[in-house]
Structure 1
């Protein structure tokens, strides 16, 4: 017989749950205090499921969870929590809890379904479902334990109507991760819509998010729905949320608090049920302290925080990622020698998965035939960058960006002097144009080199170069400079 352990200091709640699940054929044991919990002989009483209240007067619910999972690892645990402790419930899932449910129990049918599904679910099939969903959206689970853990937590919270903040360095795949959460949720048949908050001006982003009425501004020739309206039953993904202006942050806060918004130029409030996922490669807590990001919005977004590990911390997954990227080119047969894979795994990948993807694309693009065998000798770029980065990492990180570029500048100077010394007539405009081109190349090279030293942290790179994030993206040719 399936046995369930109920841990709740409220006697009425314990009696209700005992009656509910006993009537369904389960064997139920209820404890109302830590003293009663300590009296349980876990060696002789096996529990298939447990429901643990996080708020106990004489015990920490997380400590009891750890004890249960340590003594009986296969026991499925549901955390009982109030809304104010949802973040703690998410921490509990990271510690091994399978699910959580909010108190008071407004929907008894949902409570029964959660427990039934949990107790009859097969662990292997659940793992297979995660792998299938991840494969469908292009997310590689891999072998790295930290990555597997964050994916499992994402899967557990996907079915909850809570906001999720996804953190991670540039290029770690935050949008793909957001798509996984959407596909694992009950909204998977609805729209998933994403927008980059750093790629649009304030006015354009406002119109994009909330829509506008005809005549609201110059060029608004017709009414237009915003993303909150379009994705009302689905998922809205806000990338680079840290770059949203203060005005946009205020409007986002109102939507999250009231689920209502107005189109630009509109007078009637509209309702949205969109599930919000946000992502950032910056430290939002630091941004809050620096008064660059609203504290109340941060707490609204950060109900659940999931941090994607950088590629340098999950190098064992690089062969799987390469295999995944090569599937884009079915007509090519590309293989890597052990030495080549070892070299690729020794590189730090400051641009993370995006950099690896681009690297594989370059290899395939310049391949001469349908079958290519890549050896370590074919990877001088990766080898050079790896050695350079390791030297910098060994130093104190105060190295001036651009060190080591003297030879490049010297060579350009010598070539230019040699070329123009042979000419009697010099086109000044041509010289100035070449200087401008050199300036652009040096700017981009300095940014890339600084990104290496900061392991892809763009905010830190911009700080070291004493430029804004917009300027940094401009130098990388990612967007038009508006400064």
Structure 2
């Protein structure tokens, strides 16, 4: 159904045709008519129109072509009206911003087709605006995944979002809520509850049903009626909690804890996990029937290492939100692009906030944490055979003393040779570090320094 409250502009120099077309258009909203280019120009400048219909030939002049350009600048969806029009003029009209074409005279059926195409265009534009304003990416593969959201309105089946930590699963859940137009959105992080608490939180409970149940409480499934329940970190549920959830999802009715009265609720499920759910199912850690029930639609969020083109884009975005300008040197940008980013977008956001807190304006390679600068991946370790040999040779206590000393020396060097700055960076007591260094000034590793 097309919006019945549209603001519509009709540009037509023939009074009788204008009257006839206005009558057809009135069912879609408020229609203003301009009989010439000057009047049309004034109306476009002074009113907010969603859609406009242009007769290009106004009193023998193709003034409508210029109006199309203005309408495009004002974000108006433009439809060209004409009885006969040369191909070159039609091509120019589309170059100037026209979105559709309607032959004159037109009937209700042809107008309905144009309005239906306008509605689809409007929905697509609104969808793209929601995606672009909430999820930063220029990765084609990631964009394809996100565009699956556009078709979710054709079904009420569950949606499953998978992605590593920090990839934006919660953000996508809220995008879905916005795109589908749900006002009611309830969420729970499943990792925070044991079996009994999860049942109480999900299903609700009656007063006195267990110790601490001092009053009746509605469960999240009941609160999510006619809306969405978002089950984050769903992989962390125990087998018992998975069974409880499966039954409630399948039947859309349940008994609150301690109650003999069923509660019905019509909700849509979105669930998310940072784990490999297929491996968990294969290991019998996650129920196959529950996974089948919650994964009718799948959206996969890629880690940054698989969409490296987004790294600098994300830095630009988070820096733009800060109170002062931060400049990243090109040599630094290359290091940032090469880093693994195990915590994904969240790690970039945290790093930018760290720069702000520490007053960094120019980001050089030396500004970066050592693990980013040296691209140390999670599976990498600083404990190598040399250190293990040292522990066996001098003992753990002596090794830790020497390790600590060289670590402090490296931090002092990083901070311009000033121990006070190094102690602040390490969140350690300056007097304690000073005393430690004096006490152990003659101790060091025999052949190499800590890197």
TM-score past 0.5 threshold:
yes
Q: How far has the Cα of 1:416 moved from its partner?
A: 6.0
| Structure 2 equivalent of residue 130 of structure 1 | 127
Deviation per residue, 1:26-62 (Å, 9 max, x gap): xxxxxxxxxxxxxxxxxxxxxxxxxxxxxxxxxxxxx
| Structure 1 equivalent of residue 288 of structure 2 | 295
2:366 corresponds to which of 377, 380, 383: 377
Deviation per residue, 1:366-408 (Å, 9 max, x gap): 116xxx121233225254441x33xx9xxxx8x8x66449759
| Structure 1 equivalent of residue 177 of structure 2 | 182
1:208 is aligned to 2:201 = yes
| Gap runs ≥5 in structure 1 | 1-114, 420-483
Task: Return the alpha-carbon distance in structure 1 between the equivalents of residues 293 and 402 of structure 2.
Answer: 62
| Structure 2 equivalent of residue 258 of structure 1 | 251
| Structure 2 equivalent of residue 148 of structure 1 | 143
Task: Return the alpha-carbon distance in structure 2 between the equivalents of residues 275 and 403 of structure 1.
Answer: 48
| Structure 1 equivalent of residue 356 of structure 2 | 364
Q: Is the 8 A contact 1:170 1:352 kept in 2?
A: yes
Deviation per residue, 1:212-260 (Å, 9 max, x gap): 1100100000011111111112111101111112222122112221110
Task: Return the alpha-carbon distance in structure 2 between the equivalents of residues 241 and 323 of structure 1.
Answer: 32
Task: Return the alpha-carbon distance in structure 2 between the equivalents of residues 301 and 418 of structure 1.
Answer: 54
| Structure 1 equivalent of residue 309 of structure 2 | 316
| Structure 2 equivalent of residue 163 of structure 1 | 158
Q: Is the 8 A contact 1:211 1:227 kept in 2?
A: yes
For 1:198, what is the secondary structure of its paired residue? helix
Q: Is the 8 A contact 1:260 1:270 kept in 2?
A: yes
Task: Return the alpha-carbon distance in structure 2 between the equivalents of residues 376 and 361 of structure 1.
Answer: 17
Q: How far has the Cα of 1:164 moved from its partner?
A: 0.6
Q: How many residues are matched?
A: 288
Q: Is the 8 A contact 1:159 1:184 kept in 2?
A: no
1:339 corresponds to which of 322, 326, 331: 331
| Structure 1 equivalent of residue 210 of structure 2 | 217
1:354 corresponds to which of 346, 358, 368: 346
Task: Return the alpha-carbon distance in structure 1 between the equivalents of residues 401 and 348 of structure 2.
Answer: 38
Q: Name the larger-Rg structure.
A: 2
Distance change in 2, residues 1:380/1:238 (3 Å): closer
Residue correspondence of structure 1 range 431-446 to structure 2 within 5 A: none
Distance change in 2, residues 1:235/1:316 (3 Å): same
Distance change in 2, residues 1:337/1:131 (3 Å): farther
1:271 corresponds to which of 264, 268, 273: 264
Which runs of 4 or more aligned residues in structure 1 lie more than 3 Å from their structure 2 counterparts after TM superposition? 115-123, 125-128, 382-385, 401-419
Task: Return the alpha-carbon distance in structure 2 between the equivalents of residues 236 and 406 of structure 1.
Answer: 53
| Gap runs ≥5 in structure 2 | 1-112, 404-451
**TM-score, normalised relative to structure 2:** 0.58
Deviation per residue, 1:195-225 (Å, 9 max, x gap): 1111222211111111111001000000111
| Structure 2 equivalent of residue 305 of structure 1 | 298
Residue correspondence of structure 1 range 242-253 to structure 2 within 5 A: 242-253=235-246
| Structure 1 equivalent of residue 135 of structure 2 | 139
Q: How far has the Cα of 1:362 moved from its partner?
A: 1.3
Q: Is the 8 A contact 1:159 1:186 kept in 2?
A: no
Q: Is the 8 A contact 1:238 1:278 kept in 2?
A: yes
Q: Is the 8 A contact 2:335 2:373 kept in 1?
A: no
| Structure 2 equivalent of residue 191 of structure 1 | 184
Q: Is the 8 A contact 2:365 2:373 kept in 1?
A: no
Q: Is the 8 A contact 2:229 2:270 kept in 1?
A: yes
Task: Return the alpha-carbon distance in structure 1 between the equivalents of residues 246 and 124 of structure 2.
Answer: 36
Q: Is the 8 A contact 1:325 1:357 kept in 2?
A: yes
Q: Is the 8 A contact 1:158 1:182 kept in 2?
A: no
For 2:174, what is the secondary structure of its paired residue? helix
| Structure 2 equivalent of residue 470 of structure 1 | none
Task: Return the alpha-carbon distance in structure 2 between the equivalents of residues 406 and 222 of structure 1.
Answer: 62
CA RMSD of aligned residues (A): 3.0
Q: Is the 8 A contact 1:159 1:185 kept in 2?
A: no
Task: Return the alpha-carbon distance in structure 1 between the equivalents of residues 280 and 159 of structure 2.
Answer: 18
